[in-house]
Amino acid sequence: MLFLLPGLLGCNVGELSQPSEVDRTRVLGIKATPAEPAPGEAARIRSLAVDPVEGIQTVIYFGCLITESDSFGCEDLEVLGTYEPGGPVPSFTTPEDALDGMTDEEKEDGLNYLLQFLAVPNGVDLETALESEDADAAEIGESGFKRVPVSLNSNPNDNPKITGLRFDDAFEVENGDTLVLTHGQTYDIEVLLSADSVQDYVYTNSDGETEDRTEEPYFSFHATQGDVVNPWSLYPFGTYEYTAPVDPDPSDGQLWIVTRDRRGGQDWIELNLRFE
Q: What is the pLDDT of residues 37-81, one digit of tens each?
A: 999 999 999 999 999 999 999 999 999 999 999 888 898 877 899
Q: What is the pLDDT of residues 103-126, one digit of tens each?
A: 998 999 999 999 999 999 999 988
Spell out the domain ranges in the chain: 26-150, 162-275
Q: What is the pLDDT of residues 160-171, one digit of tens each?
A: 999 999 999 999
Of the pLDDT bands very low, low, confident and very high (cuts 50, 70, 90), residue 5 is: very low
Distance CA 270, CA 178 (A): 9
Kindly report the backbone phi and psi dihedral angles of residue 133, in degrees, each rounded to the nearest multiple of 5, phi listed first.
-70, -20
Of the pLDDT bands very low, low, confident and very high (cuts 50, 70, 90), residue 2 is: very low
Of the pLDDT bands very low, low, confident and very high (cuts 50, 70, 90), residue 11 is: low
Topology match between the domains 26-150 and 162-275: yes
Q: Which CATH number fits domain 162-275: 2.40.30.10, 2.60.40.1730, 3.40.50.300, 2.60.40.10?
A: 2.60.40.10
SS3 35: coil
Q: What is the pLDDT of residues 179-188, one digit of tens each?
A: 999 999 999 9
166 class by beta-carbon count within 10 Å (0-12 exposed, 13-18 middle, 19+ buried): middle
If phi > 0 it is left, if psi is from -120 to 50 it is alpha, else beta; for residue 184 that is left
Tell whether domain 26-150 is in CATH 2.60.40: yes
